[in-house]
A and B are shown apart, each in its own frame.
Chain A
Amino acid sequence: MKFRVPAQLIPLAASAAVLVLLYAGGCLAFDGFTSPRVVINLFGDNAFVGVAAVGATFVILSGGIDLSVGAVVALTTISVAALLGHGVPPLAAVLLVLAGGAAFGAFLGFIIHWFELPPFLITLGGMFLARGLGFMVHPESLGITHPFYGETVGGLAIPVAHVTTASGRVQTLTLPFTAQCFLAVVLVASVAAKWTRFGRNVYAIGSSESSARLMGVPVGKTKILVYTLAGFLSALGGVVATFYMQSGNPASFVGLELDAIAAVVIGGTLLRGGVGFISGTLVGVLILGIIQTLINFKGDLNTWWTKIAIGGLLLVFIMLQQALSRRRRE
């Protein structure tokens, strides 16, 4: 059998190439860029976006869209902070907000399916709803001081590398728990997408909902499950964000859903649904992260350059996808 890159893998391969190029470029341009610390931070700093983006991937694969991500993440962070402030045990608080996120997603999914309404509008409504609820929980930023956050979660970090600092001291670098969550979510989601009936049904619905229905795919159940999963992962992203920020804030993460969508699309998933990979989203999140890192290293550039770079990249990738799907149609 002769080897060739299947057409469906081309966008993913292109994204991976961009990631490698950006990383190589950073290593050449900046001294400290080769440090393993850069890679570890890349995973740690982007863990909450990444977790939420995995949820968004399922939604987009199914042919839908979820605009409530940022608001649900913010609602989750402030809820966790408030629950801990009221003396709720940390594990109970986390489980509670995860269940809440899943229920919220299920609610949106149910409306979308049952009333046959466009996901864009329903999740837009969900966005305002969750954002408002966040302010109802607590109107401003709330710090988290519970020892569970500082010590327990901090202690879960896994040592992965040793570096020698300029002063000659050997320092151990650890992979934070947030990054572990992100990687675990990517792994489980990849398996779910490729190796379970649910995963394949999501692709089928995204590619052709009417055919999927005639082929006996449980369309409604799958759709509701997709939004439930997205709500759950948004909440998990929120929990991860509280580990990262040690606080909750109802006004935070405005527009996070758009970052998530950008990461999904840059990762090679078609916005029309049916084609894409969870691993692509991992690559997409890392590309967004590495652009941010490069601009931080440059130092003299305004952070808005991140947005400009992401915008340009997004446009290029969307055009690439269009060109590929045109070629395939012929």
Chain B
Amino acid sequence: MSEPLLEARGLTKRFPGVVALNAVNFAARAGEVHALMGENGAGKSTLIKCLTGVYPRDEGEVTLGSRVIHPRSPREAEAAGISTVYQEVNLIPDLSVAENICLGRQSTTFGLLRWGAMRTRARAALARLGLTLDVSLPLTSYSIAIQQLVALARAIDVAAKVLILDEPTSSLDEREVAELFAIVRRLRDEGMAVIFVTHFLDQVYEIADRITVLRNGQLIGEFPVAALPRLQLVARMMGRDVKEIEAMDHRPAAAPRSGEAPPVLAVRGFGRRASVKPVELAVHAGEVLGFAGLLGSGRTELARLLFGIDQADCGTLEIDGRPATVRSPQAALARRFGFTPEDRKTAGILPNLTVRENLIVALQVRRGLWKRIPRVEQDALVAKFVAALGIKTSGPEQLIKNLSGGNQQKVILSRWLATEPRLLILDEPTRGIDVGAQADIERLIAKFRDEGLAVIFICSETAELARNSQRILVLRDRAKVAELSGAAVCEESIIHAIAGGASPPAGPAGP
């Protein structure tokens, strides 16, 4: 094992009320690709931001070579030899490719820029990646994938010793990822230390030499790739013991769906480029279909396609067995679909409106904006749902932002229930709410199911998913990898299917 090039020891970062990183050790070695893995909130981005000077560290030491460094800005980190390529292309869209590569490091004569030198330098940096572009064109004349490579060219144009790739592949398709990886391998072989942050397991096993796993701001461990099979990696990311998973009891099969009615919603070959690979699925009335997968596996993206927020670019969709389209959320609403988004605070609640207003908004849209729902009916609806779902509020005119997370979520659920939906898509409905409220929500899901709703339930907690779903669709790296039903709906099978490769004892059931 070579000496670490970039090493962090005891790195700690606190934010008000939370320790984002707790005495984490991390080491990147020259000529190695080191993957940084962890679920949402594990501390990956905080670690990266401490290394690149976006955040000052509270405790700990970072050394580059043999020197202790204290970068106070990305620029200082860059000057020290640590360059970063971010998930979103962080370049200037309106400037030329050449300027984007050289911005902030242009050479000048008597204070005037040397444009010729700039273009030559940009072409040389791109040539190192095997790219030939017209560098005088604006950045926006190129695809996102090329822009990402321009960002990479910029990152290595300074004498970078450490290259941080922060989820650089999230907006690239397979071929583009392959091209990126070819370049990353070349840079690694030239002796660069590469830190690779990603959610995609396949990519980690394709390119990484070493894996560091973080969870809840704690270092779980550093492993050579060969010593960490997928199942163990997933187990560590989720905070489960592998033995515990293997010893886990099989839950009894949930009630099988009955009846021969066509599914409420079915799709075939349904997908969207660089978002979700073609998927086949069906969800019936009186059934909860769970979506399992790690963050970034395509769960939310698939839900957005089904609800018409994003448009699928391939495949067919059927409602009650008849071909149909859902091209917008309005269309989804007209077909009596409901959707509670993952990010309740920014995409779900209307914080400055009252409980009543939040509750009736979807129904109002469905009826048409000019047909105001009479106040008497509004009040009746609110009273009904506050009682039925046990929403704790001082009254219907309370501002929703003053409610607890769990009660906000119940209002959002009521909002959709008021439209009398046939299909309800719930994206992480229990995230960030207390245990009591979570139990309430789970009970409600079961109640909806028994009342004949079709429910799609997206959740990161495998146990919760297994508890509440009749069937489970498992996604990995934006593709459906398994569909579990009957006895296979258990935590163990889910984790095996997410990890892929290793065959679980129960075996995932075919679709």
Chain A residues within 8 Å of B, Cβ to Cβ? 6-8, 191, 194-197, 200-201, 203-204, 206-208, 210-212, 214-217, 274-275, 328-329
CB distance from A32 to the nearest CB of B (A): 43
Contact A214 B86 (CB under 8 A): yes
**Known pairs A7-B138, A200-B99, A200-B103; A215 contacts B112 (CB<8 A):** no
Q: Chain B 98-142, CB within 8 Å of chain A: the 1/0 string?
A: 010001101010011101000000000000000000000110110
Please determine whether A216 and B74 come into contact, CB atoms closer than 8 angstroms.
Answer: yes
A-B CB proximity, top 6 nearest: A216-B75, A207-B94, A274-B94, A216-B104, A211-B90, A195-B112
B92 and A207 contacting across the interface, CB-CB below 8 Å: yes
A214 to B104 alpha-carbon distance, docked (Å): 11
Whether the pair A212, B92 counts as a contact (CB closer than 8 A) is yes
Q: Which of A191, A203, A215 contacts B104 (CB 8 A)?
A: A215
Q: How far is the CB of A7 from chain B (nearest CB, A)?
A: 7
**Nearest chain-B residue to A204 (Cβ)?**
B92
Closest to B109 in A: A195
Q: Using CB atoms, name the residue of chain B closest to A191.
A: B112
Contacts of B111 in A (CB 8 A): 196
CB distance from B110 to the nearest CB of A (A): 10
How large, as a class, is the contact surface on chain B? Answer: 20 to 34
B: residues with CB less than 8 A from A are 73-75, 78, 84, 86, 90-95, 99, 103-104, 106, 108, 111-113, 115, 137-138, 140-141, 154
Measured CB to CB, the closest approach of chain B to A1, in angstroms, equals 9
CB nearest to A61 among chain B residues: B94
Sample of 14 A–B contacts (CB below 8 Å): A8-B94, A8-B138, A191-B112, A196-B112, A197-B108, A200-B95, A200-B106, A200-B113, A208-B91, A208-B93, A214-B74, A214-B86, A215-B90, A216-B74
Which residues of chain A have C-beta atoms less than 8 A from B103's C-beta? Answer: 200-201, 204, 212, 215-217
- Enumerate chain A residues within 8 angstroms of B106, measured Cβ to Cβ: 197, 200
Q: How far, in Å, is A29 (CB) from chain B's closest CB?
A: 39
Known contacts A8-B138, A200-B103, A204-B103; A215/B113 CB under 8 A: no
Q: Point out the residues of chain B lying under 8 angstroms from A208, CB to CB.
A: 90-93
A203 adjacent to B112 (CB under 8 Å): no
Inter-chain CA distance A8–B92, complex, in Å, is: 14
Contact between chains at B94 and A275 (CB < 8 Å): yes
Q: Report whether B112 and A274 are in contact in the complex, using a CB–CB cutoff of 8 Å.
A: no
Contacts of B104 in A (CB 8 A): 197, 215-217
Give complex CA distance A113, B215 in Å.
Answer: 37
Known A-B contacts A197-B108, A329-B140; the reply to A215 vs B91 at CB < 8 A is yes
Provide the residues of chain A in CB contact with B94, threshold 8 Å.
8, 203, 206-207, 274-275
Task: Tell me, rounded to whole Å, the shortest Cβ–Cβ distance linking A12 to chain B.
Answer: 14
Given known A-B contacts A210-B90, A214-B74, A204 and B113 have beta carbons under 8 A apart: no
User: A194 vs B95: C-alpha distance in the bound complex, in angstroms?
Assistant: 11
Q: Please, which residues of chain A bring their CB within 8 A of the CB of B99?
A: 200, 204
- From B92, B115, B140, contact of A215 by CB (8 A): B92
Question: Is A195 a contact partner of B92 (Cβ separation < 8 A)?
Answer: no
Since A208-B90, A212-B92 are in contact, a sample of 7 more A-B pairs with Cβ atoms closer than 8 Å, ordered by chain A residue number, is: A196-B113, A203-B92, A203-B95, A211-B90, A211-B92, A214-B74, A216-B73
The chain A residue with its CB closest to the CB of B102 is: A200
| Chain A residues within 8 Å of B84, by CB | 214
Q: Does A214 contact B92, Cβ atoms closer than 8 Å?
A: no
A207 to B: closest C-beta gap in Å: 4
Docked-complex contact A211 and B108, CB < 8 angstroms? no
CA distance A203 to B74 in the complex (A): 20
> How many Å lie between the Cα of A274 and that of B100 in the bound state?
13
Chain B, residue nearest A198 (CB): B111
**Do A6 and B137 have beta carbons less than 8 Å apart?**
yes
Residues of B within 8 A of A197 (CB): 104, 106, 108, 113
Contacts of B90 in A (CB 8 A): 208, 210-211, 214-215
Question: With a CB–CB cut-off of 8 A, which chain B residues contact A7?
Answer: 138, 141
CB distance from B83 to the nearest CB of A (A): 11
Which residues on the B side are within 8 Å of A217 (C-beta)?
103-104
Give complex CA distance A274, B140 in Å.
13
Enumerate chain B residues within 8 angstroms of A196, measured Cβ to Cβ: 108, 111-113
Contact A274 B93 (CB under 8 A): yes
Residue of A nearest to B111 (CB): A196
A45 to B95, CA, bound (A): 35
Chain A residue contacts of B141, Cβ below 8 A? 7, 328
Alpha-carbon gap, A196 to B112, bound state (A) = 5
Residues of B within 8 A of A274 (CB): 92-95
Complex Cα distance, B369 from A309, in Å, reads 39
Assembly CA distance A207 to B92 (angstroms):
6
Residues of B within 8 A of A204 (CB): 92, 95, 99, 103
Which residue in chain B gives the minimum CB-CB distance to A207?
A: B94
Task: State how many angstroms separate the Cβ of A176 from the closest Cβ of chain B.
Answer: 30
A214, closest chain B residue (CB): B90
Contacting residues, chain B, for A6 (C-beta < 8 A)? 137-138
Q: Tell me the bound Cα distance from A243 to B326 in angstroms.
A: 67
**Residues in chain B near residue A195, CB distance under 8 A:** 112-113, 115
Q: Write out the residue numbers on chain B whose beta carbons fall within 8 Å of the beta carbon of A275.
A: 94
Chain A residues with CB under 8 A of B86: 214
Which residue of chain A lies nearest to B139 when distances are taken between CB atoms in the complex? A207
Q: Which of B93, B113, B115 contacts A207 (CB 8 A)?
A: B93
